Structure 1
Amino acid sequence: MTPVAPCHLSALGLVNALGRGKREVAAGLLCGDTSGLVDEEGWLPGRTARVGRVRGALEALPERFAADDSRNTRLLLLALEEIRAEVDREISRHGTHRVGVVLGTSTSGIEAAERAVAHHQQHHTLPAGFHYRQQEIGRLAPFLAEFLGLQGPAITVSTACTSSGKALVTARNLLRLGLCDAVITGGADSLCRLTLNGFASLESVSPGPCNPMSRNRAGINVGEGAALFILRKEPAAVALLGAGASSDAHHISSPDPSGAGAEAAMRAALAEAGPDVAVGYLNLHATATAKNDEMESRATQVVFPAGIACSGTKPLTGHLLGAAAATELAFCWLLAQEAWNPDGLLPPHRWDGEADRDLPALDLVTDGAAFRGARICMSNAFAFGGNNLSLILGPAR
C-alpha cells in the first residue's frame, strides 16, 4: 500500500480518572497511578464496584443548552475547555462551515435517564429539566457543533469500544475528501448503572482491580472521561500515521479467539503507515477479560514476532468504553512529545505479575522503561461484534 499524506493532531483536551488536563494525566500515566479507581456502592446490587470516576464537581451547561445537560456533555465540555483557544483559532481561519465535529460515545447521557426513571418511580412524574435529548446517542456531536456555532458536518459514531477511534478515522476521511479543513474529534462516556449491570450480567466485571494479561484476570473496571483532538491537514507536532480496521463478526460479544480480526486491523494500520515506520510502543486494548487478552496477545505475537514494548492502561482509568480509543490514543499523543514526556518514558503495565502460561509472553512495560527508538505508538481498540481498530501516531516528519 502506498502511504498517504498524514493528517495532524494539533491539540488535545482530556479528562479521566487520572486527572483533568494534559499535565495531570501525563504525570499519572507515566508513573502508573491507579489511585483514580475507587470502590463505590450503588452501581451493582449487593456489591461494590470499582470505577474510574472523574473527581470533583462538573459545571452545568449554560441555560440555553439545558436540554442537553448530562454528565456526558459536562465531561465533553471540560475536555473542550482545555483546547478552546485552538478551536476558536481554527474556526476563525476556516469559517464555521469548514470545521466539522465527529465524536464517539456508547453511553451518552443514559445516567440522566436513570435518575429520571428513579424520580418517576417515587413521584410519578419526570423531574424538572429532564429531556429525552440527554440520552440520545446520536446527539453528542450535533450538540457540540451547536455549542460552538459550527455549520460543518456533525457526526456521532457508536460502535461500542471502538467508537471514538472510529470517529477519528471518519474525521480524517472528511479532511481527505475536502469536506472540512479541521475537525474536532474524540469522544466522551460517563458512568451509568445500565453499562455496569450489563457487563456484570456477562460476568465481565472484576470485583477488584482489573488485572490485564494475568492468569487471575476477572474482568473490567468501568471508567468515564472525554478526549478531544483537533485533526487537520496543516503540520503539527504529532501526525496520525496509519489506521486499520476489520470486522470479523465472530460473535455478538466474544472476540475471535484466534486473534485474526485484531491481527488484520494491526497489519492494515502498519501497511498504511508505510515500511519506514517502526512502532516503538503498543497500547494494548487489554480489558482484563479472559477472551480479549487471549486473542490480543496472540495477535500481538504474530504481528510483532521480535517483540514490542506494550502495556494496558485501563488499570489507571478504567475502561472508558466509547471514549476508550480516543483516550488511549491521547496517551500515545502525550508519550510522543518531549513537552509532556521529557524522558521518553513508557506507561507501566499494572497487574499482579502472575503470567498466564496459556498466553504468548509479551514484553510488558515495567517502571522506568523508555522508548528505544522513535516515539511511534500503536493503539488497539476492539469492540463487540468483532469490530477491530488499530491507530498509529508519532512525531510529524
Structure 2
Amino acid sequence: MPHALPDPIAPLAVRAWTCTTALGRGRAAQLEALAARRSGLRPNDFGPHAEGRPLECWIGRVEGIEDAPLPPALAGYECRNNRLAWIALQQDGVLDAVRAAIARHGAERVALVLGTSTASIGASEEAYTRLQDTPEGARFPDELARPIVHTVHSLGAFVQALTGARGPCVTVATACSSSAKVFAQAHRLISAGLADAALVGGVDTLCGSVLYGFNSLQLVAREPCRPFDAHRVGLSLGEAGGFALLERAAAGEGGLQLRGYGESSDAHHMSAPHPDGLGAQIAMRDALARAGIAVDAVGYLNLHGTATPANDTVEAKAVAALFPPALHASSTKGWTGHTLGAAGIVESVIALLALEHGLLPGTLNASTPDPACGPQIRFDNAHADVRFAMNNSFGFGGNNCSLVFARA
C-alpha cells in the first residue's frame, strides 16, 4: 500500500531562535563563520585520554564552558551539558522571549520540548571514576550525588527550573534526530490545545562515551570530516546547544515560520539506514506535504551529511529521488562537527539563517564530488533569495525527521 501523505498544517511562528557551537555564541557568530568558510573543528584536546593521550581526531568544542558555572540557585544541576544550555539560552534574547511568553500565556501554557542524545552522561562518567568506599558500599562523591544529573531528563529539568515554564516538559532522546523531532512534538502539543507556546531545542556535549563509542564503531575520522567527498572516511564529533520559541502564527503574519515536519522509522538496522533511504524519503515527503508545497519550492536543504561513506550515499540517493537538480543541498558538519542530539536545532538555525540572509552554505572540506551523489549536493556557498528551507536529521535505528521552514 502506498504511503498516504498528511494534510497541510497550520504554521507556527518562530519568535526567537539561537544556537551556540564551536563557531561561537549566537546567530551572528554562526553566520559570520559560514560566510567566511571558517571551520570550528580543531585537533582533539578533550579528555578522558586513553593511554595518556587524546583520541586522534578532530572535534567541534565550544569555548568557555569550563569557566561558566551555573548560578548558585541552580547549582544542583551542575554538569557540562547544562552549562552549555545556560550559555546558549542567554544568546539572541531567547530567555527574555520565553519570560515574555510566560507573562502572555501563563507558565502552565508554555511547554518545553528538548532533545539530547547523551544528556549529562559526562557527569556520570566522572562519578563512576571517583566512586568512594563506605561501610554501606560504593557511592558517588557528594558533589556528584545528584540523581537528576544522571538521567536523560537532566536538560529538561534544568531548563524548567531556569525558565519557570510549567507546561508539558518533554525530553526527546532519539539519537541524532532528537532536536529536530522536538519541533514536531511541539506542533502537536500546541495543535492539541495543551500549550500556547513551546520552547524547543537541544543540547549535547562531548564526553568519553561519545568519543570512544563512535570510535568503537569505526565511524570517527582522524582528519576533519569531508561530507559527500569521494574520499570521506568518517565523522568529526562536536557539541552544541540551541533553542527556538514557537507560537501560533496569526493569519497573514510575516516573519519566520515552521511550516512542515515529517517523521519516520526505518527499523532496518540498529545503526545503518535503509540502503535505498526509504525512511528518509518518507520523512521528506511528509514534511513537504504538511507544508503544502511542491519539491521545487525548496530553495535550500541542510542535509544530515555526517561524512560516513554509507550514510552520505544513502541520503544523497533519497534526495535525488525527490528533488530537481537545481536544489542547493549541503552538509554543514564541516563547520560544527556532528553535534548528535543537538544537530537538529543547529541545522534548523542554519536553515533559518538562509531564509533571513540568503546565504546558502556549501559543504566545507569537500573538494572531490562523489559520483554516487546527485547534482543537488553543493560544495560552494551561494546567495539566493529563498522562501522555503529544509533540514534533515537522521538517528540510529533509522529514526528520521525532516523540517520545513518558511519566510512568510
Task: Give the TM-score range, shorter chain.
Answer: over 0.9
Alignment partner, residue 326 of structure 1: 345
| Identical aligned residues as a percent | 39
Distance in 1 between residues matched to 2:221 and 2:228, nearest whole Å: 14
Superimposed CA distance per residue, residues 11-69 of structure 1 (whole angstroms, 9 cap, x where no aligned partner): 01221111001111111122221144333264563542311000124421233322211
Superimposed CA distance per residue, residues 63-100 of structure 1 (whole angstroms, 9 cap, x where no aligned partner): 33222111111111112112121111111111111111
Kept after mapping to 1: 8 A contact 2:267/2:397: yes
Which stretch shows the higher mean deviation, 347-356 or 57-66? 57-66
Among residues 382, 385, 388, which one is paired with 1:376 in the alignment? 388
The DSSP-based 3-state class of the residue aligned with 1:336 is helix
2:59 is equivalent to residue 51 of structure 1: yes
Alignment partner, residue 163 of structure 1: 178
Q: CA deviation at 1:285?
A: 0.4
Q: CA deviation at 1:171?
A: 0.8
Kept after mapping to 2: 8 A contact 1:40/1:49: no
Q: CA deviation at 1:122?
A: 11
Q: CA deviation at 1:374?
A: 2.6
Structure-2-length-normalised TM-score: 0.90
The DSSP-based 3-state class of the residue aligned with 1:275 is coil
Quick one: structure 1 residues 236 and 136, their matched pair in 2 at CA, closer, same or farther if it must change by over 3 Å? farther
Amino acid in the other structure paired with 1:230: L
Among residues 134, 139, 147, which one is paired with 2:162 in the alignment? 147
Kept after mapping to 1: 8 A contact 2:226/2:366: yes
Which stretch shows the higher mean deviation, 6-15 or 57-66? 57-66
Corresponding residue pairs, total: 389
Distance in 2 between residues matched to 1:172 and 1:148, nearest whole Å: 20
Unaligned 5+ runs, structure 2: 1-5
Q: CA deviation at 1:310?
A: 1.2
Q: 1:356-367 residue pairs with structure 2 within 5 A?
A: 356-367=370-381
Q: CA deviation at 1:125?
A: 6.0
Distance in 2 between residues matched to 1:71 and 1:80, nearest whole Å: 14
Alignment partner, residue 273 of structure 1: 291
CA RMSD of aligned residues (A): 2.0
Quick one: structure 1 residues 129 and 307, their matched pair in 2 at CA, closer, same or farther if it must change by over 3 Å? same
Q: CA deviation at 1:152?
A: 0.8
Alignment partner, residue 290 of structure 1: 309
Alignment partner, residue 355 of structure 2: 336
Distance in 2 between residues matched to 1:35 and 1:240, nearest whole Å: 28
Distance in 2 between residues matched to 1:49 and 1:246, nearest whole Å: 32
Alignment partner, residue 324 of structure 2: 305
Distance in 2 between residues matched to 1:223 and 1:241, nearest whole Å: 28
Alignment partner, residue 347 of structure 1: 361
Kept after mapping to 1: 8 A contact 2:12/2:257: yes
Q: 1:46-195 residue pairs with structure 2 within 5 A?
A: 47-57=55-65, 58-82=67-91, 83-120=94-131, 126-130=140-144, 131-195=146-210
Alignment partner, residue 32 of structure 1: 37
Amino acid in the other structure paired with 1:156: T
Distance in 1 between residues matched to 2:373 and 2:379, nearest whole Å: 17
Distance in 2 between residues matched to 1:170 and 1:32, nearest whole Å: 33
Alignment partner, residue 3 of structure 2: none
Distance in 1 between residues matched to 2:147 and 2:111, nearest whole Å: 25
Distance in 2 between residues matched to 1:348 and 1:359, nearest whole Å: 15
Which stretch shows the higher mean deviation, 44-53 or 291-300? 44-53
Distance in 1 between residues matched to 2:46 and 2:245, nearest whole Å: 37
Amino acid in the other structure paired with 1:345: L
Distance in 2 between residues matched to 1:377 and 1:167, nearest whole Å: 18
Which stretch shows the higher mean deviation, 278-287 or 268-277? 268-277
Structure-1-length-normalised TM-score: 0.93
Kept after mapping to 2: 8 A contact 1:13/1:81: no
Kept after mapping to 2: 8 A contact 1:99/1:182: yes
2:16 is equivalent to residue 11 of structure 1: yes
Amino acid in the other structure paired with 1:387: N
Which stretch shows the higher mean deviation, 212-221 or 123-132? 123-132
Q: CA deviation at 1:211?
A: 0.9
Kept after mapping to 2: 8 A contact 1:37/1:316: no
Kept after mapping to 2: 8 A contact 1:186/1:323: yes
Q: 1:216-255 residue pairs with structure 2 within 5 A?
A: 216-234=231-249, 235=253, 237-255=255-273
The DSSP-based 3-state class of the residue aligned with 1:129 is helix
Unaligned 5+ runs, structure 1: none
Q: CA deviation at 1:308?
A: 0.9
The DSSP-based 3-state class of the residue aligned with 2:44 is strand
Distance in 2 between residues matched to 1:305 and 1:322, nearest whole Å: 30
